[in-house]
């Protein structure tokens, strides 16, 4: 190989090495930028996951606090004339009630914080209770009609604290446009109805009805 050929080879090698160097440098920069982007994306995902976890923990604490605040429960005790109906409800709920001598002899409303206006028939309440002058057979017939129409389902219900009293537990459209759960119980020549108008208060309702007592 003469000098010119050697020089050409050396120049070619130098060019290749230079190109290789810049290519390697470019790849390194690209890889570094990509790594930084991935780290930033990972950091963002970790931060978002941490925020979600904190929010869930705070929500759980809020729920736990709200549940603790309900205790000890308050107790409603009605007139001895109508069997001394009694049941407990969360102390954080406000109450409105109307007691009369005929017709609907008890009309009871309870709701967290403030009882919405009873004049607005569109309001849904956490807890309602009534003692009706109608006998149980009359009310049971109405329930049977609604069940036949597919608007509600009804099963036998035994009042835990009242021996020998068998009524009904109703789920579905308990009144026009309102979904909920209701128990219906005979009380001498009258009928006791206790219900919730919102699934939000279903667990509270179960606690309430487990406390129901009266003199048959």
Domain boundaries of the chain, sorted by first residue: 1-69, 74-210
Task: Please enumerate in sequence order all residues whose Cβ is within 8 A of that of 126, keeping only pairs 6 or more positions apart, or say none.
Answer: 93, 110, 111, 112, 196, 197, 198, 200, 201, 204, 205
Predicted pLDDT at 178: 94
> Alpha-carbon distance 10 to 155, whole Å?
98
Distance from C-alpha of 6 to C-alpha of 87, rounded to nearest angstrom: 107
Q: Identify the CA nearest to 128 among candidates 186, 189, 73, 204.
A: 204
Tokens, residue 14: 């130098």
Q: What is the mean pLDDT of residues 135-155?
A: 96
pLDDT of residue 151: 95
- pLDDT-derived band at 34, boundaries 50, 70, 90: low
Tell me how long the chain is.
216
pTM of the prediction?
0.70
Residue 144 CB neighbour total at 10 angstroms: 13
Is the confidence at residue 128, as pLDDT, over 70?
yes
- CATH 3.40.1000, domain 74-210, yes or no: yes
């Amino acid at each position: 190989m003469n000098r010119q050929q050697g020089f050409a080879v050396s120049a070619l090698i130098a060019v290749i090495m230079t190109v290789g160097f810049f290519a390697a440098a470019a790849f390194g920069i690209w890889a570094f930028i990509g790594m930084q982007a991935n780290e930033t994306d990972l950091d963002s995902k970790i931060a978002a996951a941490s925020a979600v976890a904190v929010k869930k923990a705070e929500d759980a604490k809020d729920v736990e606090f709200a549940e603790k605040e309900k205790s000890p429960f308050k107790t409603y005790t009605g007139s001895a004339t109508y069997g001394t109906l009694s049941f407990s409800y969360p102390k954080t709920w406000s109450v409105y009630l109307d007691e009369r001598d005929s017709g609907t002899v008890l009309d009871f409303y309870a709701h967290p914080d403030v009882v919405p206006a009873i004049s607005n028939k569109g309001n849904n309440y956490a807890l309602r209770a009534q003692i009706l002058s109608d006998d149980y057979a009359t009310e049971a017939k109405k329930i049977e009609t609604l069940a036949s129409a597919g608007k509600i389902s009804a099963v036998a219900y035994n009042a835990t604290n009242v021996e020998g009293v068998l009524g009904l537990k109703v789920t579905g459209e308990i009144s026009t446009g309102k979904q909920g759960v209701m128990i219906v119980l005979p009380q001498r020549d009258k009928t006791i109805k206790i219900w919730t108008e919102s699934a939000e208060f279903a667990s509270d309702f179960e606690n309430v009805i487990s406390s129901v007592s009266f003199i048959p």
